[in-house]
Amino acid sequence: MPAVQAALISHDRLKPQFVEWVVRHRLALQPHTLFATGTTGGLIKEACPELNLTPLKSGPLGGDQQIGAMICEGNIHAMFFFIDPLTPMPHDVDVKALIRLTALYNIPTALNEATADRVIAGF
């Protein structure tokens, strides 16, 4: 399978769970080019320095929009975004716009661990 360019994002409360998921799937992720929002990217780089990961801005500071632009340009092929459904976020509109773009451009999108396990199985 050709290399995939994937976005990795997680809301704060789910960051520990998301980093554990990345560590568990590091071998599947290793051949691919990864982009992550700022804080999430820093935590992943610390846990898995061997991954080809580029951290972008933090989500509330425009990182979600950076990934959205990459989707529009055809530079993201999958998105893993562990969303916290119980905590309101000040940048919820950015999250909604990002998910809209993944639907519009037909990008495989995992919003929780169960779906992420199934999407990564296709890598």
Q: Which amino acids are annotated catalytic?
A: 64
Question: Is 77 annotated for ligand binding?
Answer: no
Question: Is 91 annotated for ligand binding?
Answer: yes
Question: Is 39 annotated for ligand binding?
Answer: yes
**Tokens describing residue 104:** 């519009």
Question: Is 11 annotated for ligand binding?
Answer: yes
Question: Is 102 annotated for ligand binding?
Answer: no
Q: From residue 85, how far is each of 5, 14, 74, 101 by CA, in Å?
A: 26, 10, 28, 19
Cβ(9)–Cβ(81) under 8 Å? yes
Binding-site annotation: residue ranges for substrate? 11, 15, 37-40, 58-59, 91
Binding-site annotation: residue ranges? 11, 15, 37-40, 58-59, 91
